[in-house]
Amino acid sequence: MKLPGIAIRFLLVTILLGMFSPARADEPEPQPKPRDLGLPLVDNVKDLKQLGKFAAWLDPKNKRVVLVGETCKAGYALEFLITTKERAYESVLVIDGRRHDPSETSVFQLIHASLLALGANSGHPAYYKDEKTTVATGDQVMIEVRWKDKDGKTQTADARTWIRDMKTKKSPTVYWVFAGSQIRKDDEGRNHYLADGGDFVCVLNNPIAMLDLPIVSAGAIEDRSFEANVDAMPPPETPVTILITPKVAMKAVEKK
């Protein structure tokens, strides 16, 4: 079954991405080739549509975004479930978000566009006003992780089980939501997608998160809610396939 209105949504997404300014030509030279983490652990690799040159794909058949990243040491109060390698010390998983050339669309913009193409609707990130926190809104998103254990057998888990409340030691019961981050103009009128800094999948109230938990979760280091559930995770630097599926898209798959 084809995605409803997929062609129209992709056209809109293309227009949206055209609103963003490419990196300046005077930015540093491209980074060395990233570590090869292998192909994603899915049974339909040939159906995947790669997003740019990143270890990221759109899976139209199963209506999900597929990423390949790796586990972190995760010994710190968390800000993220998934971010870039530069911010690994406060995350559970990292992906390589470095552009290969200055004009390339970022992996985060491509993921955002793919979620739109899959039918997900963004809401708004969390914000704080009048001494009150308003939590993130948006369509619910399920995140699954897959990896190979020491015996080479593929293991699967709900990503929520890889984080836990620092006090109760329980994993969250709510799903992440597609908050959508923010677009801001610089002094020269260029648009910038704020999640490009790595504010991808968050576990605290982040005003520029793409995906966030719809619960009150403080950002100050001394007040953070979550830590890594290292007992449920494979060792650091283990390659991990990350499956991001909007619940609206999952319902469409289930009806097939």
- The Cα 44–Cα 36 span in angstroms is 20
Average pLDDT, the chain: 86
The string of pLDDT tens digits covering residues 181-215 is 999 988 888 888 999 999 999 999 899 999 999 99
- The Cα 70–Cα 74 span in angstroms is 11
What pLDDT is recorded for position 148?
97
The four Cα atoms 121, 190, 195, 129 give a dihedral, to 10 degrees, of: -80
The string of pLDDT tens digits covering residues 73-109 is 877 789 999 999 988 989 999 999 988 777 889 999 9
